[in-house]
Chain A
Amino acid sequence: MSSLEELEDESGDEVETMTAAEVLSKLEEAWLNEKFAEDLLEAKTDLVECMMEQISEMEDNIHRAKKGDFKVSIHRLEIDRIRYVLSSYLRSRLTKIEKFATHLLEEEKLRKDDEPSKLSPEEFTFAKDYDKLLESHLRNLALRHMPAHIQTLDPKQTAVRPNLDKYVFLRVNEDTEGVLVEEETLDTGEEIVDMKKGDQHIMRYRPVAPLVASGAVSLI
C-alpha cells in the first residue's frame, strides 16, 4: 500500500516508529476488542489521531493527483475503509459511554493519577455532559415532583454497570500461565488455566479483562 507511508509516533520520548499499516492493524485490534468487551476499554487516542491525520493526508494526495488516475479510486476506497473502522470503533465506545456514563465518571473520580484514563478528553467531556443531561431530564419530569426524601438519585442504586460475568470468545496472543478462571467455592475447587498462544477459549470476561487490556489476548 503505497499510501501508507511510514509515520512517526510522536508520543513518548523514545522514538517509536510504526508504519501506518501497523497503526491500522493496531486500531483494528482495538476495534474488535472494544466491540466484544462488555466494559469500556482504555481509549486509544493516539491511534485515532494518527489515522485521522493519515486520512487527511491521503485526501490531499488525491487532490494533487492527476484526474482520471486509476490509483485515485483505490486510495479513496482505502480512505472509506479506514474511516469505517474508525467510526465503528468510536461508535461502540460511545454506546458504552452513554450506557455506563455514571459508572465511568465514578471510576474516573477514583482514578489515581498514575493510572491511565479509560476516556479520551473528548469522551470525558461528552460523558459528563451526557450524564448531566440525562439526570436533569429525570429530575425535571419526575424527581422534583416526588416527595422530598426520595428525590435523590443514588448512583449505587441506579448507575448502569457493565456485566463482567458475560462470556466472551478470545484468542491468545501470548502464552499466559495460571489464569484464575473460577474462584474456589463450597462446591467446587478453583479453576486455573494455562493459555497458549493461538488457543481459543470461551470464558467469563472478568478473569481475562486485564489480559485484554495488556494485549495478551484478543476478543473475537
Chain B
Amino acid sequence: MLAEKALDLIRELERSVGGSLPPYNEDRVRQVLEEMRVLCEQNQKDVSATVAGESGLFSGVQVRHAALERNKRCLLAYLYNRIEQIKKMRWEFGSVLPTEVKYNLCEQEVQWFGRYNKLLANYMRSIGGCGGLDLTQDMKPPKTLYVEVRCLVDHGEFETQDGNVIVLKKNSQHFLLRSECEHLIRQGILEHIVH
C-alpha cells in the first residue's frame, strides 16, 4: 500500500512511547522521500498526457496526490514528535545531554537542541525585567527550606550559594537548601530522603 514506509516511522515512535527516543531513521526517511519523488513524477507524466489529450488519468493523479500528502504528514509528524521528546530532554536532563542519548539524534536534531536551549535561556533571562527566573527549577511546591539528601553517584565538588564547596561523593548524606540542590535531584545525582 502507498505511504506504508512513512507509517513505519510513526509506528516506531508509537512503540517507543515512555521509553527512549529511537535512533533517527535516516534510511527510512530517505525511502519515503524517494517514494514521494516517484509518485510526483508519475503524476507529472499523467498531467502532461492529459494536457496532450489523453483522458481518464485524473483518478490516478488523485490517488497519488493523496499519497503524497499522506507521506508528508507522516514524515512531518515523525520529526515533530521527535522534537517534542528532544524538548522534554532539555527539561529533564538539563542543558547537557548524555552521550548515549545524543547518539540517537541526527546532526540537525542536536543543533536544534542547542538552539532551543539558547532560546529558552534567553526567554528565562528576560522574565520580569531584572535577572529573570529559572523555570526549570521549582518543579514541585516547596515544603521545606532544607532537604536531607543522599548522594547517588560520585559527582565531585559542588559550590553552594554561600560559597562553600561540598564534595558530593557516592553515599554521603547532606542537608542542603532545597532550592540549590533541586536540579541535582532531578538529574539523579542526589536522592531526596523523606521520613
Known contacts A80-B145, A87-B137: does B130 contact A56 (CB below 8 Å)?
yes
Contact assessment for B138 and A56 in the assembled complex, using a CB-CB cutoff below 8 Å: no
Contact assessment for B115 and A49 in the assembled complex, using a CB-CB cutoff below 8 Å: no
Count residues on chain A whose CB falls below 8 Å from chain B CBs.
41
The binding surface of chain A is classed by DSSP as helix
List, in ascending order, chain B residues with CB within 8 A of A141's CB.
29, 79, 106, 108
Contact of B133 among A77, A83, A133, A158 (CB under 8 A): A83
Report the 4 A-B pairs with minimum CB-CB distance, sorted nearest first: A52-B128, A147-B40, A80-B142, A122-B126
Which residues of B from 98 to 149 have beta carbons under 8 Å from A?
106, 108-109, 112, 115-116, 119, 122-123, 126-131, 133-135, 137-142, 144-145
8 contacts between A and B (CB under 8 A): A48-B127, A86-B133, A87-B133, A130-B116, A133-B119, A146-B36, A150-B69, A150-B72
Contact assessment for B133 and A142 in the assembled complex, using a CB-CB cutoff below 8 Å: no
Contact of A77 among B29, B116, B119, B144 (CB under 8 A): B144
Identity of the chain A residue whose Cβ is nearest the Cβ of B40 in the assembled complex: A147
Which residues of B from 26 to 72 have beta carbons under 8 Å from A?
29, 33, 36-37, 40, 68-69, 72
Provide the A136-155 mask, 1 if CB < 8 A to any CB of B, else 0: 01101111011101100100
> Quick check: is B169 within 8 A (CB to CB) of the other chain?
no
Count residues on chain B whose CB falls below 8 Å from chain A CBs.
42
Contact of A90 among B119, B127, B139, B142 (CB under 8 A): B127
Identity of the chain A residue whose Cβ is nearest the Cβ of B140 in the assembled complex: A84
> Quick check: is A105 within 8 A (CB to CB) of the other chain?
no
List, in ascending order, chain B residues with CB within 8 A of A129's CB.
119
Contact of B142 among A77, A130, A145, A149 (CB under 8 A): A77
Contact of B29 among A91, A130, A133, A142 (CB under 8 A): A142
List, in ascending order, chain A residues with CB within 8 A of B141's CB.
81, 84
